[in-house]
Amino acid sequence: MKVLAISSSPRRDGNSWTMAEAAAKGAREAGHEVESVYLADHVGGMLDDCRRCRLSDGACGIGDGYERLLMDRVLPADGLIIATPLYWYGMNGRLKTFFDRLFCYTAGSSPVGETVSAALPGKRVAALISCEESYRGATLGLEAQFQELTRYLHQELVGIVVGVGNSRGEVGSDPSRPLERAEDLGRRLFDVRVTDYRLDTPRSNRVWGAPEHEDDELY
Ligand SMILES: Cc1cc2nc3c(=O)[nH]c(=O)nc-3n(C[C@H](O)[C@H](O)[C@H](O)COP(=O)(O)O)c2cc1C
């Protein structure tokens, strides 16, 4: 499988990059083809008023590497590892801009709108968050946003790893071992069991295979 690891912090060898590389290592060890990118190398401009900056054929007119990143790297990937530092209790601005600008590429007026909208669903997504605070509420809004983004895009959010650290690379000292958890998530990117039941979803009583004893079925 193809995997793209996107690190969105402006700090090149910072905590989110370190977490992204841990997940990339796991994915590579599982036999996947993995590429890592710094979002800052590709995304420069913010979403603007499309009526003003859209080109005459409906294409986005913001002249940076966004389109090539999207078309050549994001769309062909089967799995995405998305790493962000927590900024003001949300994702960092460049990653938000990455999502904001998807609007221009999925719009009906875009010459690539149908291609992009057809290629975004089905990807498996691992989200990695680095932050200073260990307060559980600090990342909750962002975790919910990742859940809703992937739901909207028909993607599977396989897991979220939060690593606590502030200085460059400090997540490696977090006793909750976020780097190991990120590596494990990367390794299992395509194996993690993702469910989203409804009342009438057909299912057995057991989640993980056959019972060892018949009585187990009672529980
Ligand atoms: C602009 C800015 C806003 C931040 N906001 C928060 C925050 O709301 N909560 C938090 O716990 N840490 C916050 N931090 C700290 C970073 O999330 C933390 O240092 C993170 O590990 C940086 O990751 P990086 O090395 O990948 O850039 C903020 C840092 C910056 C620069």
Decide whether any atom of ligand 1 lies within 6 Å of the 85 Cβ: yes
Q: How confident is the model at residue 209 (pLDDT cuts 50, 70, 90)?
A: confident
Residue nearest to atom 2 of ligand 1 (CA): 87
| Region of residue 130 (phi > 0: left; psi between -120 and 50: alpha; otherwise: beta) | beta
**If you measure from the C-alpha of residue 76 to the centroid of ligand 1, how many angstroms do you get, rounded to a whole number?**
30
**3-state SS assignment for residue 141:** helix
Q: What integer pLDDT is reported at residue 50 of this predicted model?
A: 87
For ligand 1, is residue 90 a contact (CB within 6 Å)?
no
| pLDDT at position 214 over 90 | no
Complete domains list, the chain, with CATH: 2-218 (3.40.50.360)
In this prediction, residues 183-205 reach a mean pLDDT of: 95
* 99-117 per-position pLDDT tens digit: 999 999 999 889 999 999 9
Ligand 1 near 13 CB (within 6 A): no
pLDDT digits (tens, 9 = 90+) for 35-55: 999 999 999 999 999 888 899
Distance (Å) from CA 142 to ligand 1 centroid: 13
pLDDT of residue 219: 45
CB 164 less than 6 A from any atom of ligand 1: no
pLDDT tens across 11-41, in order? 999 999 999 999 999 999 999 999 999 999 9
